[in-house]
């Protein structure tokens, strides 16, 4: 299944903190960044010939980037469902879960299942749309999941599930 532009649709779930971050970015772009760049473009335009004015050209380009991001954020925030409560069945992996996995050697790693707009590899927040995220959904403690990785197939066992 894909969108009209051929891309796979993104899940529309987001945590409360993820939604706050996107709204903060939208607000910062709208109230701080765009007015600052608009002022810079205005000052650069006042210097005369715009065809060879690097500040003007760069500023106009930056304004277009900001406007595209503002439009995307506005549309995306309208599409998102903010999930603030854990699921009733907390013995299974659903959106927002922290999941401790053990690999074949017994080494444990913990991931959080989040929406595609808030993935963060440094903090081990993985998208529910990722291969591992999809494999974990609806599983419970003791279940094994197999994931295809670039360096081959990996098998994990679910050790613990929690909702913080």
Give CA–CA dist 160/75, Å, rounded. 36
Domain with CATH 3.10.50.30 in the chain: 98-162
Q: Quick check: 155 and 105 in contact, CB under 8 A?
A: no
**Vertex 14: Cα angle to 13 and 18 (nearest 5):** 165
| pTM attached to this predicted model | 0.80
Domain with CATH 1.10.287.180 in the chain: 13-83
Tell me the CATH number for domain 13-83: 1.10.287.180
pLDDT tens for the chain, 164 residues: list them.
334 444 555 789 999 999 999 999 999 999 999 999 999 999 888 887 777 788 899 999 999 999 999 999 999 999 999 999 999 889 999 999 999 999 989 999 999 999 999 999 999 999 999 999 999 999 999 999 999 988 889 999 999 999 98
Domain range 98-162, CATH architecture: Roll (3.10)
Q: Of 124, 149, 118, 135, whose CA–CA distance to 17 is shortest?
A: 118
């Amino acid at each position: 299944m894909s969108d009209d532009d051929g891309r796979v649709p993104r899940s529309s779930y987001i945590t409360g903190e993820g939604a706050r971050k996107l709204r903060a970015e939208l607000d910062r772009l709208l109230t701080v960044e765009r007015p600052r760049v608009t002022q810079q473009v205005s000052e650069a335009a006042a210097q005369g010939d715009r065809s060879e004015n690097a500040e003007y050209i760069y500023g106009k380009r930056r304004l277009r980037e900001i406007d595209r991001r503002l439009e995307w954020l506005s549309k995306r925030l309208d599409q998102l469902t903010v999930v603030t409560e854990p699921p009733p069945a907390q013995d299974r992996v659903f959106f927002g879960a922290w999941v401790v996995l053990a690999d074949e050697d017994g080494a444990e790693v913990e991931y959080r299942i989040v929406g595609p707009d808030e993935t963060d590899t440094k903090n081990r927040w993985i998208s529910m749309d990722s291969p591992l995220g999809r494999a974990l959904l609806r599983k419970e403690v003791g279940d094994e999941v197999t994931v295809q990785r670039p360096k081959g197939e990996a098998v994990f066992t679910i050790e613990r599930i929690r909702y913080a």
